[in-house]
Amino acid sequence: MRDFSDSPILRNGNSLIVAYDHGTEHGPVDFKPNPESIDPRHVFEVAKHDAVTCLAVQKGIAETYYPDYKDDVNLMVKLNGNSDLSEREDYYSPKQCTVRYAVEELGAEAVGYTMYAGSKYEDKMWEDFREVQEEARKYDVPVVMWAYPRGKGIEGNSDYGGSTDPDVIAYAARLGLELGADMVKVKYPGSEGNMGHVVNVTGKTKVVMSGGSKRSDDEFIKDVQTTIDAGANGLAVGRNVFQRENPEEILDRLEEVIFKR
Ligand code: FBP
């Protein structure tokens, strides 16, 4: 594992990543609660907030909009992704971008990759991730694994309580350490104790909480505070920022929680 403590995606060792790949993963329905968020420029403007250490977007958004924000926003390119439109036998997220293209052509400071541990296609995703991880080392950028356990291996196995089972979340997070991710992004596992376990099993690999669907300011901040108290390193958040009409307010609060312990 490389030392990325100087990476611009970290501040005092922690991160606040704004994720804006929902146009692929869920479709424009996610922009309905705040129609301004349809326009990527709105989210790039939001990401200028001091609290935000980088913005994670797909290749096309990076190519089209990032040139106007290079001086103000750090870019993470999400290398794989898929839509909700297709019918699939199980979860698989194909790559649309190489690390070389992300760094050399788009100006990425970091790259992201979704790993569906538990899917019928997990083995294929390991191979894809191996390429990503080794290329990321060559270009000296950190690689963040969206560690999302889901699929037939979990649903059909009575040893596991589904994708929200804290032990399953910890298992998928541990794969991040073992496969060479610098940071894993995990769904909130329900309690400080469970998040502490995730932090324990991932060792030196950093852990950030995945935002999830929009909830009240206080509910959301409570989960983030619990995550930080458990020893994790911050947040990667989409809807709980861009679906708000005043995202600056929640970002001010997140800045306090994540960076000023
Ligand atoms: P949210 O904070 O909106 O949950 O975004 C985090 C994220 O990982 C996005 O990067 C991605 O688009 C989305 O969640 C995927 O959500 P899911 O696969 O759980 O529907």
- The catalytic residue among 185, 187, 204, 206 is 185
Which atom belonging to ligand 1 lies closest to the Cα atom of 212?
Answer: 4
Q: What is the DSSP letter of 158?
A: T
Residue 82 phi/psi, 5-degree rounding, is: -155, 175
pLDDT at 260: 85
**Mean pLDDT (whole number) for 216-229:** 98
Tell me if residue 185 is catalytic: yes
Look at residue 155 and tell me whether its pLDDT is greater than 70: yes
**Mean pLDDT (whole number) for 200-221:** 97
Contact (Cβ atoms closer than 8 angstroms) between residue 139 and residue 101: no
Q: Ligand 1 center to residue 22 CA distance, Å?
A: 7
- Whose CA is closest to 224, among 182, 252, 183? 252
| Single-letter amino acid code for the residue at 36 | E
150 lines ligand 1 (CB under 6 A): no
Length of the chain: 261
Annotate 211-227 with three-state secondary structure: CCCCCCHHHHHHHHHHH
pLDDT at 261: 61
Which atom belonging to ligand 1 lies closest to the Cα atom of 19?
Answer: 10
DSSP bridge partners of 86: none
The rounded distance, in Å, linking the Cα atoms of 219 and 185 is: 19
State the sign of the Cα–Cα–Cα–Cα dihedral 24, 62, 106, 235: negative
pLDDT at 212: 96
Residue 108's alpha-carbon distances to 1, 15, 102, 104, 205, in angstroms, are: 19, 16, 5, 8, 20
In testing the pocket of ligand 1, which one of 77, 210, 254 has its CB within 8 Å of the most ligand atoms? 210
Residue showing tokens 């959301």: 220
Superfamily of domain 15-259: Aldolase class I (3.20.20.70)
Q: Whose CA is closest to atom 17 on ligand 1?
A: 25
Distance, C-alpha 188 to centroid of its chain: 12
Query: CB neighbours (10 Å) of residue 12?
Result: 12
Distance, C-alpha 44 to centroid of its chain: 16
Q: Ligand 1 center to residue 242 CA distance, Å?
A: 12
Find the helix or strand (DSSP H, E) in which 115 lies.
Answer: strand 110-115
The mean pLDDT of the chain is: 97
State the sign of the Cα–Cα–Cα–Cα dihedral 16, 105, 177, 156: positive
Residue showing tokens 């995945």: 210
**Mean pLDDT (whole number) for 152-156:** 92
The predicted-structure confidence for 17-53, as pLDDT tens digits, reads as follows 999 999 999 999 999 999 999 999 999 999 999 999 9
Question: In the chain, what are the domain boundaries?
Answer: 15-259
User: pLDDT > 70: what percent of the chain?
Assistant: 99
Q: What is the pTM of this model?
A: 0.97
The predicted-structure confidence for 52-102, as pLDDT tens digits, reads as follows 999 999 999 999 999 999 999 999 999 999 999 999 999 999 999 999 999
| Single-letter amino acid code for the residue at 117 | A
State the sign of the Cα–Cα–Cα–Cα dihedral 220, 54, 196, 125: positive
Name 236's Cβ contacts closer than 8 Å, sequence gap at least 6. Answer: 15, 17, 18, 19, 56, 144, 146, 185, 208, 209, 210, 211
Look at residue 229 and tell me whether its pLDDT is greater than 70: yes
